Structure 1
Amino acid sequence: MTTLGQHTYSEINAQAEAISAAWDQLELQQDWIERYLNNAAFEEIIFIGSGSSYYQALTMAATCRTWLGRSAVAYPSSDLLLFREQTAPTHRNYLVIGVSRSGESTEVVLALESVQSLANWTIAGITCYEDSSMAKLAECLVSPLGKETSTVMTKSLSSMTFMMQAAIAKAAGRNDLLEELAKVVKQDGATVLAAKPFIDTLVREQSFIKYVYLGMGALYGLSLEACLKIKEMSYVWTEAYGTLEFRHGPKSIVEPGTLVCLLLSEQARDYELKVAREMQEYGAFVLLLTANKGEDTSFADAVFEVGGSDISDEARSVLYLPALQFLGYYTALNRNADPDSPRNLTQVVKI
C-alpha cells in the first residue's frame, strides 16, 4: 500500500471495531440517556456541530424525530452561537447536544458556553475525547475507539453517529430498533471489506469531471458528508442534494463525465430510482448504494450493496459510509493527493 493516506486507510478499516466499542460503551452510560433523551421537560432537542459533525447531527436529529417522536433539529454550531434568536425562539425549554470528534472545536464549545447559564437551556454532548474541553463543559457520550490521527473524519463519524442512534433507540424503549442496530454491529466489518475492492476498481476504471451525491431522510446528512469527504481528500468540486430536489434546477449540470452517487433509501426507493434513471439519460454515470440489488437497479452503471436489507433506513445509515469514505480515499490516491494531510485543513478548527 502507498504511504499516502496510511492513517486514513487504517481508520476507515477500523470503523467496525469503533462501532462495536461505542455499542459496549453505551451500556456504561445509561444514566446519560435517562438524564437527557428521556427528560420530558425538554421541548426541543438541538444537535449542533461544524463540518462533518454538523452533517452527522442532521442524521442524529432525523433519527430522533423518527424513533423517539421528539422535536429535534440540527444546526451549524455557529448559527446557535451568533444567531441564537433566529435559530431558537425564546421561551422554550431546550436540550443542546454538541457534536465534536475532538471536543475542541471552537464554535461548538463557544455555542454551548453561550447558553449554559441561560434559563431553560441544558447542554450535553458526544465526542471521542473524554478529557476534551467540551467533555469538561458538558456531560458527553464518548466513542472510545473513535479517536483518529488523520485530519478527515472516518471511523469517528461512523461510531458517533451509530452511538447516538443507539442511545435514541434505548430512550425510545424499542427492542426492535436495538435488534436492528445489533445487526449493524455484525454487518459493518463485512461492508468495509466489500467496499474496499469495489471502490478501488471503480476509481481505477472510470474518470469523472463532476461528482454529485444524493440522499433523503436520515441519509441526506450523509450525502453532504460524502460530498465533503471527497473534497477534503482529493480536492475535487462536488455537490450534494436531496434526491428529488436535484431535479429542480441543479440537474442542469449533468453531462457525460458526471458521477451521480445515490444513497438509496427503501422508504422512497421507487421515487429515487426514477431520478437516477433520468440522470443516466442525461449522460451521468449512476452509482447506487443500496440495501439490496434488484431488477429495479439493473439499469445503473454500478451498484454496491451495503447490507441491512431487513432493517430501517435510519439504522442502516452508517453502512453507507465505508464506500463513501473509500471513494474519497481512492480518488485522492488517483490524483496523487495525501488523504492524511489535506491542504488548508487541520484536525481541529479554532477561531
Structure 2
Amino acid sequence: MCGIVGAVSQHNIVPILVQGLQRLEYRGYDSCGVAVHQAGELRRSRSTARVAELRQQIDTDGVVSGTGIAHTRWATHGAPAVHNAHPHFSSGRIALVHNGIIENHDELRAELQAKGYVFESQTDTEVIAHLIAHLYDGDLYDAVQRATLQLQGAYAIAVFSRDEPQRVVGAREGSPLILGVGLPEDGGANYLASDAMALAGVTDRIVYLEEGDVVDVQLGKFWISARQADGRFQPVQREVKIVHAHTGAAELGPYRHYMQKEIFEQPRAISDTLEGVEGITPELFGDSAYRIFKEIDRVLILACGTSYYSGSTAKYWLESIAKIPTSVEIASEYRYRDSVPDPRTLVVTISQSGETADTLAALKHARSLGMTHTLTICNVATSAMVRECELAYITRAGVEVGVASTKAFTTQLAGLFLLTLALAQVRGTVSAEAEAMHLKAMRHLPVALQAVLALEPQVVAWAEAFARKENALFLGRGLHYPIALEGALKLKEISYIHAEAYPAGELKHGPLALVTSDMPVVTVAPNDALLEKLKSNLQEVRARGGELFVFADADTRIENSEGVHVIRMPEHYGALSPILHVVPLQLLAYHTACARGTDVDKPRNLAKSVTVE
C-alpha cells in the first residue's frame, strides 16, 4: 500500500528518495512527499499529483540534503489532500512518515492536544510525530522506542530530527520495513524502505526488520533493538541478506498498460513457476513437508481478494483429488469470529506480496489457537509470509505492477494444484498414472494459454458493448464459480462497472430478478459434468430477455444466436480448466476499462499491496 524510503548519506540523497518512490508507485497512492534536513532546518515538498510532478516541485523548491525521508500515501484517515500528505512535522524539529493504522489515535490525539500540540491534518500519523516530539530529549532512538510502547495498531515509520543531522530512526509492527546497508563505495550511506524494490540499483544488502524492531540508521553504522515482553528494548543482530530486487518490472514494450503486459506474460509466468518440477513430491514445499502432510487431516485456506478466489478454486481440487476436507476463509473475517481449531490442520495462506496485513494477522491467530502446521503460496521469497510459515511454495510470476492481479492469480492456482497433487500422493488418493497425466497437463499450460490469448481480438469486440453498461452478472458452476467471482472482481476493479457473480444454479433464487436486456450475463461454460445444468440456466436468462456472453469449450454445442454471443475456448482442459478460463475474463475487464478511459493500472481508491487492516 503506502511506500517509505529514507536515507542517510554524505551526498544529496533526494534523487534516490524520489527514484524509490517511483519504484513503489505500482502499489497505489493518493499523495506523495519528501522531507529533508537542510541548512539546520526541516524542509519538505508534498503533492497530490504523481511522483513525476513531485520531482519537478522539489527541483523548483531547491530541496537538497544528505538526510531525508519520502512517502507515497494511500488515504485512510483524512482525504487525499496536501495537508494530509506525508511527511508530517511536529514542533519544527521532528519529521515522520508512516505506513499502517494507529488504532488508539483518538485517545493519543486528545492527550497531546491537552499538552498544547496543534494538529494540522486529520491523519493518525500526525499523532505519532507529536508523540515522539513530546518524548524527545535529544536522543531520537530513545524517543521512538518509548513512543512505540504507546502505539496500538500497525505501523512502519521512518523519522528524523532537526537536532540530529545524519540520523534516521525506523520502527515496525505489523507493517513491513527493511534496512538497506550501503555499499562500501557509498561512503557510509544507509537506507530504510518498505520494499526492497525501492532500493534496487542502490544496494542489494538488505536486513528484514522483525516485529517490534527499532533501527537507528547513521552514516556507516546502524543499530537494531527488539522490544521484549516486558517493554524493554534489547540490542539484536539481524542477518544481512543479498537481495536482487527487480527494477525492470518494467518496460512496457509493445503493450498499452502493465496489466495487458502481465496478462500476456502468463505463459512465461506459469512456465517459470513450474521450472524444476520434475515430479510430484512433498519436498517441493519444504524439507519437512512429508512429515507435516502425514500429520494433517484437513486444510484451512486464509486469503483476501483475488487470492481468496484462488483458494476457493483449490478447495474443489483438494476435496476431489486429495480427498481432504478444506475450508476457505476471508482472512479479514477469520480472526474476529469464534472458530473450532484443530491442531491436525494445515493452515495455507495465499498472498502475492507476502505482506498482506489481514492474512498475516489471520495466520498468527490460527497459530495462537494451536494450529502450527503452516504453508504459504507466495510470489515474494523474502516476504514476511514466507518467513512466518513452516513451508512455502514460491510462485515466479515476477513483479506485478498493475493493481488488478492477473499473472499472480494464475501462478497461485498452479502452486495450489501442485499442493493438491502432493497431498494426494501422501494420502494415497491418486494413482501414479493419474498423477503423471496431471503433471503432463500442467507442463502443457503455457502452450494452452498462448492459444487462449489469441482470442483477444474477439474479446475486444465484446468490450465495446460492455463499456456502455453499468451492471453485469457473471455465472459459473462448480470449479468455475470462483472463476466467475474473479471475473466480476476484475471488471469492477478497473472499469468501475458494478458486477456480481453467482453459481448459475442460484439464478432462480434471487438474481434472476436483475436480468433485463440491459444486464449482460457473462458465463463460464466448460464441457464438464455440470454443462447440461448450465445450459438450462442460460435458457432462464434468455427467457427473461437477458443477453448472454459465453466463454464455451469447443465441444459444448452452445451456438451463437440472437442474444447469445459465444467465444470458443481452444480446448477443454479438465481439472486445470480454471487457469485457462480466467484469462479471457481478464481480457474482457481490461479492454472494457480501456474503452471507458479509466486508469487501468492504478484504479481509483485501490492499492496494490494492502498492508493495513
2:321 aligned with 1:60: no
2:484 aligned with 1:223: yes
Indicate the structure (1 or 2) with the bigger Cα radius of gyration.
2
Matched ranges for 1:39-188 at <5 A: 39-83=293-337, 85-86=338-339, 89-138=340-389, 139-173=391-425, 174-188=435-449
Q: 1:276 & 1:2 partners in 2: Cα distance?
A: 40
Which runs of 5 or more residues in structure 2 are unaligned?
A: 1-251, 426-434
Q: 1:91 & 1:97 partners in 2: Cα distance?
A: 14
Q: 1:325 & 1:120 partners in 2: Cα distance?
A: 36
Relative to 1, partners in 2 of residues 1:154 and 1:213: Cα closer, same or farther, differing over 3 Å? same
2:501 aligned with 1:240: yes
Partners of 2:473 and 2:522 within 8 A in 1 = yes
Give the CA deviation at 1:111. Answer: 1.0
2:472 aligned with 1:211: yes
2:451 aligned with 1:199: no
Counterpart pick for 1:301 among 538, 553, 564: 564
Q: 1:338 & 1:176 partners in 2: Cα distance?
A: 42
Give the CA deviation at 1:148. Answer: 0.2
Give the CA deviation at 1:285. Answer: 1.5
Partners of 1:4 and 1:340 within 8 A in 2 = no
Give the CA deviation at 1:26. Answer: 4.3
Q: Secondary structure of 2:603's match?
A: coil
Q: 1:172 & 1:210 partners in 2: Cα distance?
A: 41
Q: Secondary structure of 1:164's match?
A: helix
Relative to 1, partners in 2 of residues 1:120 and 1:340: Cα closer, same or farther, differing over 3 Å? closer
TM-score by length of 2: 0.53
Give the CA deviation at 1:4. Answer: 9.7
Counterpart pick for 2:536 among 255, 269, 274: 274
Give the CA deviation at 1:150. Answer: 1.1
Give the CA deviation at 1:36. Answer: 4.5
Q: 2:586 & 2:403 partners in 1: Cα distance?
A: 13
Relative to 1, partners in 2 of residues 1:119 and 1:32: Cα closer, same or farther, differing over 3 Å? farther
Structure 2: which amino acid aligns with 1:229? K
Q: 2:276 & 2:294 partners in 1: Cα distance?
A: 24
* RMSD of aligned alpha carbons: 2.4
Partners of 1:104 and 1:348 within 8 A in 2 = yes
Give the CA deviation at 1:230. Answer: 0.5
More helix by share: 1
Q: Which has the higher contact order (CA 8 A, sep 6+)?
A: 1
Give the CA deviation at 1:25. Answer: 4.9
Q: 1:24 & 1:304 partners in 2: Cα distance?
A: 31
Cross-structure match for 1:287: 549
Cross-structure match for 2:525: 264
Give the CA deviation at 1:204. Answer: 2.2
Q: 1:19 & 1:54 partners in 2: Cα distance?
A: 19
Percent pairwise identity: 21
Q: 1:335 & 1:128 partners in 2: Cα distance?
A: 31
Give the CA deviation at 1:180. Answer: 2.6
Give the CA deviation at 1:2. Answer: 12
Give the CA deviation at 1:27. Answer: 4.9
Partners of 2:379 and 2:408 within 8 A in 1 = yes
2:592 aligned with 1:341: no
More strand by share: 2
Segment of structure 1 superposing worse, 338-347 or 24-33: 24-33
Structure 1: which amino acid aligns with 2:533? Y
Structure 2: which amino acid aligns with 1:8? M
Partners of 1:65 and 1:72 within 8 A in 2 = yes
Cross-structure match for 1:249: 510
Q: 1:171 & 1:33 partners in 2: Cα distance?
A: 11
Q: 1:326 & 1:31 partners in 2: Cα distance?
A: 35
TM-score by length of 1: 0.91
Q: Secondary structure of 2:275's match?
A: helix
Partners of 1:215 and 1:242 within 8 A in 2 = yes
Give the CA deviation at 1:322. Answer: 1.4
Q: 2:270 & 2:567 partners in 1: Cα distance?
A: 21
Structure 2: which amino acid aligns with 1:284? G
Partners of 1:49 and 1:76 within 8 A in 2 = yes
Partners of 1:191 and 1:306 within 8 A in 2 = yes
